[in-house]
A and B are shown apart, each in its own frame.
Chain A
Amino acid sequence: MYNLLIGGAAGQGIDTTVSILEKLLKCSGYNVFTTRDFMSRVRGGHNFSLIRFGIKSIYSHSNRLDGIVALDEETIQLHKEQLEDSGFILCDTKLSGLDSRLIRIQMDAMAKGLGNPQVSGSIAVGAVLKLFGESLDNVRTVLQIFIKQQYLDVNVKAVEEGYASTETHFSHLNGMYCDQMLISGSKAVAIGAICAGLRFYSAYPMSPSTVIMETLASKADEAGIVVEQAEDEIAAINMALGASYGGARAMTGTSGGGFSLMVEALGLSGMAEIPLVVIDVQRPGPVTGLPTRTEQSDLKFVISASQGEFPRMVIALRNAYDAFYQTMRAFNLAEKYQIPVILLSDQYLGDTTFTVNPFNPEKIQMISPKLEYTENTEYLRYQYSENGISPRLVPGKTKQLVAVDSDEHDERGWITESAEIRTKMMDKRMKKLEGLKQELQEPTFIGTNDFETLLIGWGSTWGPIKEAVNLLNGDNNPHYAALVFGDVYPLPLKQFKEKAAKAYRIIDIEQNATGQLADLIREETGILCENRILKYDGRQISGEEIVEQIRKGTVK
């Protein structure tokens, strides 16, 4: 497995270079795992991506580097300590330094020679392919995806020149997973939504959630969906609710700040029983926080957001594969229970690209509202029922009238202040939680059944925790296991209780300052998890960091 860092200032085209390179590596049959670390600015600063690739499965980023592609001096200064002695630093001849690992090529001069200074990224791509002993086989096909036709030839030439400019540094690995998808968490959410039959997406741009809106907008025409940029997040969620009521499967997405604005309407989804999927791609708060960085600190907020009490479901996404299927599942749960379903992602998961087995949309059978009414009785939107679910009709599709109300209402949907009806309606809505509890998916179990230490986490730390458990169990004395929650509200606890009873110690790993999941678990089970590895610097913990912290003994 190799780990390559590509760094430079914003505006130097790192994103495109990384996208081309990771796709080429994927086409060579490797597992690829690319994380993106960037600042909240359009020009300057220091941005970098880590491309980890190899034959084994990859679950986490790593901070130990085999190669650095430095588009500026700062990249070298900031990252050379992470570089293995056997590693290389690829840069332009204009950059100085005495490091023996430096490989200087005439990136800028070659680009100038080709008549286009912007192709220096492609020259770097070519050089990297050579350094890792790769071929030029897929270059044209891959470049076509990212480069406009009129610049294609010059970029192909640039890759070839870059390739010829240096020697092989690392031995070639034989990749064998050419059929895999290469996709980011956020794009997997967008594709999952399309496959779930999404018809309407409204949102207000907010990092790091905007990729979902942009992906959907780029597919809107071919997929037959309407994507509308709302004037604010309040409009975004109310539009999604209006569309859903009107019979179009709807979703909205944002990050914590936008979610804060959506809170009242979340309650409308619960009260008026309008299916809704909302994704919160978390970033560090409070308020503006660190706009382009990662955190898992909205858990307690989203499970209790909005006044009053109503049923909801919260699902944390763990990887791109999960993101696709859980998004589809979220639409089904929202439709079946007529509730808001909140997906929790974060910048790390949203922007990281994973290689995964191709998604199969047929795995999940989608359910839809009824388009006809065959009963002889008058239609009642909020008819009392055993399980709390009333028949949902779409206005205008039948002769029946569909009335929804944010006030407490009777079965017909009309305002009431009757104490009796209020109690019955609350009971009806809250009854849906019982059904939801039957749908819960237990957390993913990782590691050995023979464990002494149980790690717990949720969402995007799945990968780092999985890598940590693999590393910790790597010696001949495996003692570690982990439970990583996807469904977080309602919280499935059957498996946790079983495993916790067997555990010598439990270590909670979260990207927040307080250990929100551990607190919830204590609230629900009374089990106190004192050992916590908490990271809230805006950067995702890696598998290696978890191992280091556990081995250092800073956690009991």
Chain B
Amino acid sequence: MKTKTFCTYETAWCPGCGNFTILECLKIALEQLGKNPSEVLIAAGIGQAAKTPQYINANAFCGLHGRSLPAAVAAKIANERLTVIVDTGDGDSYGEGGNHFIHNIRRNVDITHFVHDNQIYGLTKGQASPTSMIGLKTGVQIDGNFNEPLNPVLLAIACGAGFVARAFTGHKEHLIALMKQAIKYKGYALVDILQPCVSFNKTNTFTWYNRRVYELDESYNHKNKIDAMQKAMEFGDRIPIGLLYREDKVTFHQKNAILNQGTPLLDRKTDLNYMNQLIKSYT
């Protein structure tokens, strides 16, 4: 599948990297949703995955390592008409940006967060990421990683996120469908996308994931938080992918007394009469 609207560019990724699939699916999802490039903002921090905004025909905010969430939510606060997507890696999202991850779930600004989760640091050439499994050997974790891996989807559900999904680059149509749902969801939506790192993660390979993942079917009720947490914890011989949890929640824009009045923040003006009145209140 090729998309026109969001174009195709040369990348700096390794051949066979899961990033290609995620990028392609993102472009298709945006195109199928009928988005115009000028209304879409792709934000990222630093990392191999975080180069995504460079390879898509849309507005781009390539910020600091770990800090794309605060910048992205504020861009959405500034202009609610933008479709804001944070598309970046597991290190950027859960490691360097862990604090922002937790607190932006609480804010529930209407943005979408796609995390390229390959359980390894790519750009810095192969060190443990927050999601690396116990035992994974790297140039730094020479005896194997012995820290407990973070479970991002479980954490997100526990923190109160209203849209939490897990996907795998080996299931493209499934990923596109989830991306579209996540973008359409009113509030903070997380899709943790499992992908292989062909250069540095020799454990969690395409085959490793492919043998384990299975798509959640219609019998699964994504509205039940306890079930969702149980499913989120399933990460071993079998790994469920799909929408784990969904709940309609009041968004930041709906809660904020300024933003819920319908005028995008950037279009507001401060009235001169008001300024003079304000100054007078100090006399």
Whether A403 and B270, one on each chain, are in contact in the complex, defined by CB atoms closer than 8 angstroms, is: no
Q: Contact check, A246 vs B46: say whether CB atoms are below 8 A apart.
A: no
- A-facing mask of B32-60, CB < 8 A → 1, else 0? 00000111010100100001011001111
Task: Say whether A415 contacts B51, CB under 8 Å.
Answer: yes
CB contacts (< 8 Å) of B72 on chain A: these are 242
Residues of B within 8 A of A222 (CB): 274, 278
CB < 8 Å: which of B67, B259, B269, B280 contacts A265?
A: B67
Give bound CA distance, A243 to B71, whole Å: 7
B73 within 8 A of A: yes
Q: A264 to B102: give the CA distance in the assembly, Å.
A: 21
Known: A226-B265, A234-B67, A396-B82. A361 touches B38 (CB 8 A): no
Q: Residue B230 at the A interface, CB < 8 A?
A: no
Given the known interface contacts A199-B266, A248-B265, A401-B38, the answer about A242 and B75 at a Cβ–Cβ threshold of 8 Å is yes
Given A223-B278, A231-B103, A238-B67, the answer on whether A199 and B79 have CB atoms closer than 8 Å is no
B interface residues, how many (CB within 8 angstroms): 53
Q: How many residues of A contact B (CB 8 A)?
A: 66
The answer to whether B282 touches A191 (Cβ under 8 A) is: yes
Q: Which B residue's beta carbon lies closest to that of A413? A: B60
Nearest chain B CB to A360 CB, angstrom units: 8
* A194 on interface, CB distance cutoff 8 Å: yes
Given contacts A200-B265, A243-B78, A406 and B62 within 8 Å (CB-CB): yes
Asked if residues A395 and B79 are in contact (CB atoms below 8 Å), the reply is yes
Secondary structure at the B interface, as helix, strand, loop or mixed, is: helix
Q: Is A242 touching B258 in the complex (CB atoms < 8 A)?
A: no
Bound-complex Cα distance A183 to B280 (A): 11
Given A219-B278, A226-B258, A238 and B64 contact (CB-CB distance below 8 Å):
yes
The minimal Cβ–Cβ distance linking B281 to chain A, given in whole angstroms, is: 9
Chain A contacts of B4 at CB under 8 A? none
A241 x B74 contact (CB < 8 A)? yes
Q: How far is the CB of A148 from chain B (nearest CB, A)?
A: 18
Please determine whether B74 and A246 come into contact, CB atoms closer than 8 angstroms. Answer: yes
- Cα A234 to Cα B104 in complex, Å, equals 13
Say yes or no: A243 contacts B60, CB within 8 Å: no
Interface centre among B53, B78, B82 (most CB of A within 10 A): B78
> Are the CB atoms of A406 and B63 closer together than 8 Å?
yes
| Cβ A362 vs Cβ B70 within 8 A | no
Q: Are B70's CB and A225's CB within 8 A?
A: no
- Report if A180 contacts B (CB, 8 A): yes
- Within 8 Å CB of A362, what residues of B? 272
Select one of A199, A202, A232 contacting B268, CB under 8 A.
A199
Using Cβ atoms and an 8 Å threshold, which residues of chain B touch A159?
none
Contacts of B279 in A (CB 8 A): 181, 191, 195, 358-359, 361
Point out the residue from B37, B38, B59, B77 that lies within 8 Å of A243, measured CB to CB: B77
Query: Does B275 have its Cβ within 8 Å of any Cβ on chain A?
Result: yes
Task: Tell me the chain A residues, 445-498 only, with Cβ under 8 Å from chain B.
Answer: none
Min C-beta distance of A54 to chain B, whole Å? 19
| Selected contact of B78 from candidates A198, A230, A246, CB within 8 Å | A246
A385-417 at interface with B (beta carbon < 8 Å): 394-407, 413-415
Residues of B contacting A264 with CB < 8 Å? 64
Contact A242 B71, CB 8 Å, known A221-B258, A413-B60: yes
Q: Mark B253-264, 1 if CB is under 8 A from A, else 0.
A: 000111100000
- Complex partner residue of A406 from B46, B70, B77, CB under 8 angstroms: B46
Residue B171 lies at the interface, judged by CB distance under 8 Å to chain A: no
Contact check: which of A219, A226, A414 meets B259 at CB < 8 Å?
A226
Contact pattern, A 178-195, Cβ under 8 Å of B = 1, otherwise 0: 011111000100010011
Contact between A239 and B74, CB atoms less than 8 A apart: yes
CB contacts under 8 Å to B, within A209-253, are 219-226, 228, 230-232, 234-236, 238-248, 250
Inter-chain contact B283/A401, CB cutoff 8 Å: no
Q: Residue of B at shortest CB range from A230?
A: B70
- B100 touching A231 by the CB < 8 A rule? yes
- Tell me the minimal C-beta distance from A325 to chain B in angstroms: 12
B61 to chain A, nearest CB (A): 6
What is the distance, in angstroms, from A151's C-beta to the closest C-beta of chain B?
21
With a CB–CB cut-off of 8 A, which chain A residues contact B12?
Answer: 415
A238-B82 CB under 8 A given contacts A181-B282, A403-B53: no
A-B complex: 3 closest residue pairs judged by Cβ atoms: A246-B78, A242-B71, A242-B74
Given contacts A231-B99, A248-B265, 17 further A-B contacts (CB under 8 A): A181-B279, A200-B74, A202-B74, A221-B257, A221-B258, A224-B270, A236-B70, A238-B70, A241-B63, A246-B79, A250-B74, A361-B279, A395-B59, A396-B59, A397-B266, A402-B59, A403-B54
- Could you show 5 A-B contacts with beta carbons less than 8 Å apart? A187-B282, A223-B278, A225-B258, A235-B100, A242-B72
